[in-house]
Amino acid sequence: MLLVCVSLLADAGELLARSSQATSNMITTKSTKVSLVSSQQGQQYASYQQKKAQIAIIIDDIGNKRADSAAFSLPKEVTFSILPHTPFSTRFSAYSYHQGREVMLHMPMESLHGEALGDGGLLASMYPEEVEKQLLLALKSVPHATGVNNHMGSKLTQITLQMNAVMQVLNNNNLYFIDSRTTKFTKAHIIAQQHGVASAQRNVFLDHYANEAFLEKQFEQLILKARRNGSVIGIAHPYKVSISFLKRKLANLPDDIELITVSEYLSFGGNDDIDSFELPRTAKETLRPATDIAPK
C-alpha cells in the first residue's frame, strides 16, 4: 500500500510539472505574439506617431482699414500683427482677443529708403529712452499683444543701440519678438536672444506680389520648408486675394501639416533654418492710407 501511494504521488508530481511547463510555454508564446502584434501595429500606424510639420502664419498690417476685418474669417490659429495708432488698432486687437486669436504689435521701424512710418515709428536717431517710450505707447494702442514684429525696419534692425532698447522693453513685459527680416543684415533676432527674449525669424513672405500664382508658389515653399525643417513662419497681408487664398488652403492642408500659433511655434522650439533672403515688398504696398473707405 505504501509503495502504491508513493507511486501515485510521483505520477502527480510529474503531471503537475508538465502542466506548469505547458502553462509557461503558453504565456511565453502569448507574450511573443503580443509583442509581435504591437510591433506590426507600430509599423502600420507609424505615420500617426510621427509629429506633423507645423506652419505658423502672421497677417501683418492689420488696423488701417475696416476692410481688414475680412481676415477674421481665417482660422483662429492665424496670428494678427496690428499696426499701432491706426483707426482700428485697439478695436481689432480686442476683437481678436475675444475670438481667441493671438495678437502681435506690428511696430513701424525706420527703413533704409525713408518710407513714411505712420504715427509712433522708431527712428535710428532716437535715444534709447525715446525708443522705449514710443514702443510702450504703441503697445497701449494694441492691447492683448503677446509679441512684436517689425514693420519695415531695414535700417533700424541693423543698429544695436536701438534694438537693445526694444528688447529691454519686450523682456520687461514678457513679450516675444519675430524678426520680419526686411534686410539680410538684421541683428534683431540675435539681440533678442541676448536679452533672453523668445524670438524667431520669418521664413517665407507669401504675398509681396499679391496675385494667385505667386501666392501658390510661396505657399508650396512654405510647405516644403515645414516638411524639411519641422516648423516655419509665413507672413502675409490682409489683401483680398491673400485672404481668399489662405481660407481655401488652410481649410485643406495636407495630412502631415499642422497650423499653429506663433506662441506655439516658439514653445515647440521653432526652427531658425533660413536658407535664403527674400526682399519683401512692404514699403509702399502695405502701408495703406487710413482714409480708404471700407465696407461697414
10 Å Cβ neighbour count for 102? 23
Whether residue 146 contacts residue 173, with contact meaning beta carbons closer than 8 Å, is answered with: no
Write out pLDDT tens, residues 128-178: 999 999 999 999 999 999 999 999 999 999 999 999 999 999 999 999 999
* Long-range CB contacts for residues 43-46, cutoff 8 Å, separation at least 24: none
Q: What band does 286 get if pLDDT is binned at 50, 70 and 90?
A: very low
R_g of the chain computed on alpha carbons: 29
What sign does the dihedral 79-151-200-225 (CA atoms) show? positive
pLDDT digits (tens, 9 = 90+) for 205-256: 999 899 999 999 999 999 999 999 999 999 999 999 999 999 999 999 999 9
| H or E element, residue 285 | none
Q: In whole angstroms, what is the distance from residue 37 CA to residue 262 CA?
A: 40
The per-residue pLDDT for 149 is 98
Name the residue among 207, 150, 219 with its Cα closest to residue 178: 150
